[in-house]
Amino acid sequence: MRRRPSRRRLLLVLVAATLAVVVADVGEWPAATHVRGAGAAVLGPLERLAGRGGSGALGVDDAAAGRERMGFEAAELGRGLEEARQLRELLDAPGASGARFVPARVVAVGAQGASGPEQVTIDIGSRDGISPDLTVVNAQGLVGRVVSAGPWTADVLLVGSADLAVGVRVGSAGTLGSLTGATGPAGAQPRPAGRLGLELVERGTLQVGDAVRTMGSVGGRPFVAGIPVGRVTEVDTAGGRFAATGAVTPSVDVTSLDIVGVLLSAPRTSPRAPVQGGSG
């Protein structure tokens, strides 16, 4: 015969669940209200059971329905906690430091390309201050750019899309380059799935491990400067080209996007020192 859960064990479950709800609330994520509601729904049956000291008879059907309901509500609570965790990571990311952004959730995925989805839909739009050509990031780096915005949703073209080219700086020297979803230069071996094509636009060298960051656009649209894009993982050896080419593994896995941020302003940067020309 199975033993009923002790009052002490139930109390520990209540304390753990309560702490989880508090952590989500501290994150000040809009889903916190949802988390609190799910938490109350989960804690309520446990509190009633603990108050009875594990006694009291329930019908078999009632018990089964209660377990199913609590399982669903616990899953919803876990979802809210995960969203709060991702938002906290985004707030703490170097690329978001000093920037104003609107957090969003991916709610739909568009057509698939060679390296995954090429476009997603997020749950914010023009009523939230979103317009085309804004930079989209997550805690790991560049996600893409907004290409269209309705009142409540917006479409984002993702890094790796065949239609998206990103001006970048490569390595410690900041060599200028262009990053696309192309499979590679003419005559080169096809890139593995998930790799991006990089071509320098000025003379310079590429090395495996070089960091790749956004070069930035005028007014920060469509890309603000300094956002991590990825790292060089392959350098093409074939000659005959003006500048070096290679492959980049992106910082962001576009196949598992969830919480993202749309930048409304560029991250804070160091002030530029003034200079003075010669007197003649």
What is the reported pLDDT for 238? 65
Predicted confidence (pLDDT) at residue 157 exceeds the cutoff of 70 = yes
26: left (phi over 0), alpha (psi -120 to 50) or beta: alpha
Are the CB atoms for 206 and 170 separated by under 8 Å? yes
Band of pLDDT at residue 91, cut at 50, 70 and 90: confident
On the CB side of 51, CA atoms within 13 Å amount to 6
Q: Contact at 8 Å (CB) between 232 and 206?
A: yes
Residue 229 near residue 212, CB atoms below 8 Å: yes
Question: Do residues 220 and 226 lie in contact, with contact meaning Cβ atoms separated by under 8 Å?
Answer: no
Mean pLDDT is lowest, of 33-42, 93-102, 148-157, 194-203, for 33-42
Is residue 151 scored above 90 in pLDDT? yes
Maximum average pLDDT range among 18-32, 62-76, 141-155:
141-155
Q: How confident is the model at residue 181 (pLDDT cuts 50, 70, 90)?
A: confident
For 128-133, which contacts have Cβ atoms below 8 Å and span 24 or more sequence positions?
Answer: 128/102, 129/102, 129/264, 130/102, 130/154, 130/262, 133/221, 133/222
* pLDDT tens by residue, 236-245: 876 666 778 8
* Mean pLDDT over the full length of the chain: 75
Q: Give the pLDDT of residue 23.
A: 45
Q: Three-state SS for 158?
A: strand
Quote the crossing angle between the two packed helices 7-26 and 32-51, to the nearest 10°: 170
Residues 6+ apart with CB under 8 A from 190: 183, 184
Q: Are 46 and 107 in contact (CB under 8 A)?
A: no
CA dihedral 217, 222, 226, 228 (to 10 degrees): -140
| pLDDT classification of 53: cutoffs 50, 70, 90 | very low
| pLDDT one-digit tens code per residue, 215-264 | 988 888 899 898 999 999 988 876 666 778 889 999 999 888 888 999 98
Nearest in space to 167 (alpha carbons), one of 94, 99, 223, 206: 223
How far CA 85 is from CA of 20, 77, 104, 173, in Å, comes to 11, 12, 14, 35
Q: For position 208, what pLDDT does the model report?
A: 93
CA distance 13 to 18: 9
What's the confidence (pLDDT) of residue 7? Answer: 52
- Does position 161 have pLDDT exceeding 60, yes or no? yes
User: What is the percent of the chain with per-residue pLDDT over 70, rounded to a whole number?
Assistant: 60
What pLDDT is recorded for position 148? Answer: 95
Q: What is the DSSP letter of 29?
A: -
Highest mean pLDDT among 135-149, 187-201, 243-257: 135-149
Place of tokens 């329930």: 58
> How much is the pLDDT for 36?
45
Q: What letter would DSSP give residue 27?
A: T
Give the tokens for residue 130: 């979103």
